[in-house]
């Protein structure tokens, strides 16, 4: 049986669609692109675009809609609630954000103390630390960002950059690494990172796909090659 889900992405994102193609063919992602509300990097997308694209995804009879723009959730205390209500009203199905998925996934894996390794600027990383601590009860042990200036720069970052950051930050107190940033290609690198450092790695894209599989209650669809989260599909 083929399952259909919708994904909303910033117009500048060139990675989420590519990584969704790594899923088994029975999971079909359908995309809507969003313009920036402010024209500034990493800030939320236009509400009218979110509503319009969610309405269009409804016509594809998707079963879930995910906003794959983790940084957007960092710019307003109630952003997740507001945007998921808007998405649900337009699409008529369950809606979630990738930021919510990352936080939920970390807790589902049973971790509490984490390090954040991201492509973001120092300011956005500070917002990320505040968000994951306040919204998901995670203790942030360390943070390192690559200070990318825009989405295009993120799309050019190689996985080795994250691996080097893990090596610099790694310590016994860290139970997992969080890697927010949907335009950073991580899916094929995650399992290797986990084997090297002995800790789970939760990224925007693997957490979004985990949220989709959990929403579909498809625990038989584990994906062993993409790391612990998608191999075990833990419940939250």
136 & 92 share domain: no
State the residue range of the domain holding 90.
3-98+206-221
Q: Supply the CATH number for residue 30's domain.
A: 3.40.50.1860
Inter-helix orientation angle 122-136/98-108, to 10°:
60
Q: Locate tokens 């313009």: which residue?
A: 35
d(CA 28, CA 32): 14
Neighbouring CB atoms inside 10 A of 84's CB total: 19
Residues belonging to the chain = 236
Write the DSSP symbol of residue 68: -
59-85 pLDDT tens trace: 999 999 999 999 999 999 999 999 999
Q: What is the largest CA-CA distance in the chain?
A: 49
- Within a domain: residue 230? no
Out of 120-134, 146-160, 202-216, least confident range:
146-160
Predicted structure pTM score? 0.95
216 & 197 share domain: no
Q: Locate tokens 């969704």: which residue?
A: 20
130 & 76 share domain: no
37-48 pLDDT tens trace: 887 778 899 999
d(CA 208, CA 205): 5
10 & 89 share domain: yes
Average the pLDDT over 182-202 and give the result: 97
19 & 113 share domain: no
Residues with Cβ within 8 Å of residue 175, at least 6 apart in sequence = 111, 112, 113, 114, 199, 200
d(CA 69, CA 78): 15
Q: Locate tokens 């236009």: which residue?
A: 46
What does the CA dihedral 102, 105, 107, 108 come to, rounded to 10 degrees?
170
211 — pLDDT class (breaks 50, 70, 90): very high
31 & 115 share domain: no
115 & 74 share domain: no
d(CA 232, CA 210): 10
Residue 197 is inside which H or E element, if any? helix 190-197
Domains identified in the chain, total number: 2
207 — pLDDT class (breaks 50, 70, 90): very high
Is the pLDDT at 209 greater than 80? The verdict is yes
178-187 pLDDT tens trace: 999 999 999 9
pLDDT computed for residue 221 by the predictor: 65
- Within a domain: residue 79? yes
Where b means 16+ CB within 10 Å and e means fewer, 104-139 reads bbbebbebeebbbbbbbbeebbbbbbebbeebbebe
215 & 167 share domain: no
Mean per-residue pLDDT of the chain: 95
Neighbouring CB atoms inside 10 A of 212's CB total: 24
d(CA 69, CA 204): 8
Average the pLDDT over 202-217 and give the result: 96
74 & 121 share domain: no
- Within a domain: residue 186? yes
């Amino acid at each position: 049986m083929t399952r259909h889900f919708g994904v909303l992405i910033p117009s500048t994102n060139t990675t989420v669609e590519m990584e969704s193609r790594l899923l088994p063919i029975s999971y079909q992602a359908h995309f809507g692109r969003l313009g920036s509300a402010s024209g500034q990097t990493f800030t939320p997308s236009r509400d009218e675009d979110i509503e319009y694209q969610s309405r269009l995804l409804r016509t594809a009879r998707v079963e879930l809609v995910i906003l794959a723009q983790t940084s957007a959730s960092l710019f307003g205390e109630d952003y997740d609630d507001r945007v998921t209500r808007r998405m649900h009203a337009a699409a008529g199905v369950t809606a979630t954000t990738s930021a919510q998925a990352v936080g939920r996934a970390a807790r589902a894996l049973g971790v509490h103390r984490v390090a954040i390794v991201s492509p973001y600027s120092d300011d956005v990383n500070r917002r990320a630390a505040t968000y994951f601590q306040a919204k998901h009860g995670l203790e942030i042990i360390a943070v390192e960002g690559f200070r990318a200036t825009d989405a295009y720069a993120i799309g050019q970052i190689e996985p080795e950059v994250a691996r080097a950051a893990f090596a610099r930050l790694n310590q016994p107190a860290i139970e997992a690494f969080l890697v927010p940033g949907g335009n950073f290609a991580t899916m094929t690198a995650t399992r290797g990172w986990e084997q090297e450092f002995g800790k789970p790695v939760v990224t925007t894209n693997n957490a979004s796909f985990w949220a989709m599989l959990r929403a579909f209650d498809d625990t038989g669809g584990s994906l062993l090659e993409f790391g612990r989260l998608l191999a075990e599909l833990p419940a939250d």
